[in-house]
Structure 1
Amino acid sequence: MRAFKNPAARKVALAGSVAALGLLLSACGSDGDSMSGMDHGGKTSASASPSPSTSASFNDADVTFAQGMIPHHQQALEMAKLADGRAEDSEVKKIVAAIEKAQDPEIGTMKSWLKSWGKPESAGQGGHGGHGTAAGMMSDQDMKDLRSLKGKAFDRKFAELMIAHHEGAVEMARTEQKDGSDATAKKLADDVVRTQSAEIAELRKILDRL
């Protein structure tokens, strides 16, 4: 009897081991599958995450800002050039120099953004980015009137027109601060708001004493 039970017991034990091993392998297999699935998901999300940030470094507001501010700055430089031989007030001359120093390089910067973004420098046929007088752009008549003046009359007219011009630039820059996406463009918008708001205050002081 003892010799009979031992082989049976051995078979039962062996069968139990095989079953247990099967369950263990099955469990490991499912764990491995789930983990590999998790790893795959992790890799997919990791590789997908940089894509939106690089492709969305700029948006339509950034493009509109650059396209509108380029001709705006260009007109400010045209106004500043008219001061040569016409302006009399030392404070007006100081603001003219500040405008030329700041805005000329900013035009080059914004042109380089648009080129890197694959966008044209001008949004419209007229080249003013569709902003026109709403952003403080001077009319041809305004520029003609300014060109015809000298001395204190020029200083007064220049201050009046540049206040309106700067207010337009600040308005455009505040829109960029609110709606823009590109960090560099938003930084330039911050600079425009800060510097041109200060120049507006100075120009108003000049008008008060002229």
Structure 2
Amino acid sequence: MNYLKFLSVILISGLCSCQSNGPKSADEHSSHDSTSHASSSERTEMAIVMDNMMKDMHQAEMTGNADLDFAVMMKSHHEGAVEMAEEELKSGKDEAIKQMAREIAGAQKTEIVELEAFISSPKNAAKNYDPATKNSGFGKVMDKSMKMMMELPELAAGSSVDEQFVALMIPHHQSAVYMAEGLLQYGKDPKLMEMAKKMIADQNREIDAFKKWSSAR
């Protein structure tokens, strides 16, 4: 069974079962080890979005340039957040959470355009870290960020779309913040680093708001 067919079987069955955590380097194929919290018949739209986002990120080939690899991974990460926000706007009921979803979708759509421009622009993408090294440097940052998203909370049976959105968006944001903080340590591009600073501020504020909402339930 080839790799893409293997991934499609996993998604259909509601399981993601792979052998390592993190995007693959240009010289290796990576697989990842996580277990879905529900059977395929119980998969929610929110969880399916997360599955698809993780699939895209797992398949990304890392170049070894911290700025470029951050931009590629964060683009997929943001696309997942936008899809979850759109699902919340379609099916959610809580007006405060729907307003947060609007703000998240708007901000991250703008950043996706900026990330796409960075990815497509001619640049000297010299290798400045080893993607295969998972225990130090930017390789460790990328690997841990992926693991953070894989350690998702179990969605309570019968939970509302609002509750699902909040429960999944907190670790989703936390992994983005960790990746952005890593870029500030290892990145070189000034514009990308300014974007990372804004992401950290925006998403930490949203994490706090989500946690307050959850604790008040």
Q: RMSD value over aligned CA atoms?
A: 2.8
Superimposed CA distance per residue, residues 96-123 of structure 1 (whole angstroms, 9 cap, x where no aligned partner): 011111000111111111111457xxx9
Q: Does 2:168 correspond to 1:155?
A: no
Q: Aligned letter for 1:69?
A: M
In structure 1, which of residues 75, 83, 99 is the aligned counterpart of residue 80 of structure 2? 75
The answer on whether the counterparts of 1:62 and 1:182 sit within 8 Å (CA) in structure 2 is yes
What is aligned with 2:193? 186
What is aligned with 1:177? 184
Gaps of 5+ in 1: 1-58, 124-129
What is the 5 A alignment of 1:185-204?
A: 185-204=192-211
What is aligned with 1:134? 147
- CA distance in 1 between counterparts of 2:97 and 2:121 reads 36
Q: Aligned letter for 1:136?
A: M
In structure 1, which of residues 161, 164, 173 is the aligned counterpart of residue 171 of structure 2? 164
What is the 5 A alignment of 1:76-115?
A: 76-115=81-120
TM-score, length of structure 1 as denominator length: 0.58
Q: Aligned letter for 1:87?
A: G
What is aligned with 2:212? 205
The answer on whether the counterparts of 1:177 and 1:189 sit within 8 Å (CA) in structure 2 is yes
What is aligned with 1:47? none
Q: Percent identity?
A: 28
- CA distance in 2 between counterparts of 1:95 and 1:69 reads 20
What is aligned with 1:64? 69
SS of 1:96 mapped into structure 2? helix
Query: Which one has the bigger helix percentage?
Result: 1
What is aligned with 1:22? none
The answer on whether the counterparts of 2:89 and 2:101 sit within 8 Å (CA) in structure 1 is no
SS of 1:84 mapped into structure 2? helix
Using the TM superposition, give the Cα deviation of residue 138 of structure 1 relative to its aligned residue in structure 2, in angstroms: 9.1
Using the TM superposition, give the Cα deviation of residue 133 of structure 1 relative to its aligned residue in structure 2, in angstroms: 3.7
Using the TM superposition, give the Cα deviation of residue 137 of structure 1 relative to its aligned residue in structure 2, in angstroms: 6.4
Using the TM superposition, give the Cα deviation of residue 90 of structure 1 relative to its aligned residue in structure 2, in angstroms: 1.5
Using the TM superposition, give the Cα deviation of residue 85 of structure 1 relative to its aligned residue in structure 2, in angstroms: 3.3
The answer on whether the counterparts of 1:135 and 1:171 sit within 8 Å (CA) in structure 2 is no
Rg larger in 1 or in 2?
1
* Structure 1 runs (4+) greater than 2 angstroms displaced: 130-139
TM-score, length of structure 2 as denominator length: 0.56
Aligned length: 136
- CA distance in 2 between counterparts of 1:107 and 1:137 reads 22
The answer on whether the counterparts of 1:74 and 1:107 sit within 8 Å (CA) in structure 2 is yes
The structure whose RCO (Cα within 8 Å, separation 6+) is larger is: 1
Q: Aligned letter for 1:98?
A: E
